[in-house]
Structures are given as structure tokens and as C-alpha cells.
Amino acid sequence: MDLKKILPAIIVFLTAFLIPFLLSKLKKKGDKKPKEFSHSLLEIGVEFVELDEGSEQAKFRRKLSLGLKSEGIFALKKSNIDVINVISASSQYGVNYFIEYLVKSTFGIREKPLRKTKMVMKKRSLFGGEVVDVIWKGDQYLAQKLNLDYDLKHKFMQADINTFKGGILIIPEPKHGYIRIKTNFNLPSAEMFYAIDTLAGHMRYGI
């Protein structure tokens, strides 16, 4: 069989049928993520209101990056977290999903701008195993403050930290008055959610 003769037909098939089919499957999967996450919030007793694409928070997300899409936005009540955003990021390898916990912050009076700070999970050995400690690295002041909060450390260690995919990244957005607490797509247990909520309290009042 002459591959050169059938190659155009293969390209036409991929363009016309297979690629649209795969994109459709990915879109349907993405549509389920916000519902899955909102159902999880209800199960652990978190009060929220779902926002639409015209909300201030959705516009804020679009200003930050054109490569990311907001799949669902939830405004929280009685929480240090103002808004939760379910985010999708498309690439040639597929679609990845993230959760962003947005916290309004005045950023206090700082001579230096706040830098990104991340949570590092220390494993029992170099080859893996269970998480035995969590430490914060990045902005010197913020990392030190979080590392000295032993109640916060205890809350994370008592939560489902070993099944929590990825770490936590704190991203300051002083221009917009928000701090983003970013994680992989996880359905947090009540313990994990309130650990993140405690962390958000530091972002709101403690920097």
C-alpha cells in the first residue's frame, strides 16, 4: 500500500471527524467538573452561590491569562475564601483542571512586593511514601509566617494530605487586589477545605 496516496485521506479524516469528536468528549468532561466540585462543597457543608460568566470574578480571571478557561465560579459565604474558580488549561497533550481559591487582600504595608510561595510535601523517604511534613518556600516573610503556624501545619497533616494531588501555590495579584491559592483539581474533604480556609485567613489579614 502506497502511504503517500492514502496520507491525504487520513489527514482529512482526522480533521473532519476524529479531532472534533475528541474535543467534544473533552468538553463534556469539562462540563462535569464544576458540578462535581459544587456537589462536593455541598456535601461538606460549604455555603456558596454560583456566579455567571459576566461576573467581576470571571472578568478578573480572563485578564490574567487567555490560555485558561473558567469552567465554574462559586462565591462563598462565611469563609475567608471569597471565590472558588474551576479552571481548565488546554494543550497539545489534553486538558488539565485546576482549582483557584481567590482571597481579597489589602497586601498590608510592604516595602517589597509579595512573591509566589508554595507548599512542599516532605515524604518519608527520597523514594516516596507517606507525607511526614509540609513546609512553605518562596516569599521569605510569608513562608516564615506560615511555617511558624503550627495549627495550620496540624490541620494540613490531619487532612487527606496523602491523597491530595499536587501541592499548593500562592500567587499574589496586587494589581487586582486578590491572592490566588492554586491547586490541582481535587475534591477536598471537610478537613482539607478548612485547612485551605485557614491559609486564606493569612492571605486576608496577615500579610
Return phi, psi of residue 97, to 5°: -120, 145
CB atoms within 10 A of CB 44: 14
Q: What are the extents of the domains in the chain?
A: 3-205
Beta bridge partners of 171: 180
CA 53 to chain centre: 18
Confidence of residue 28 (pLDDT cuts 50, 70, 90): very low
Q: How confident is the model at residue 16 (pLDDT cuts 50, 70, 90)?
A: low
Partnered with residue 97 across adjacent β-strands are 88
Counting beta carbons within 10 angstroms of the beta carbon of residue 192, is it exposed (0 to 12), middle (13 to 18) or buried (19 or more)?
Answer: buried
User: What pTM value is reported for the model?
Assistant: 0.80
- The pLDDT confidence band at residue 66, using thresholds 50, 70 and 90, is low
pLDDT digits over 77-136, tens only? 999 999 999 999 887 778 899 999 999 987 665 667 889 999 999 988 877 788 999 999
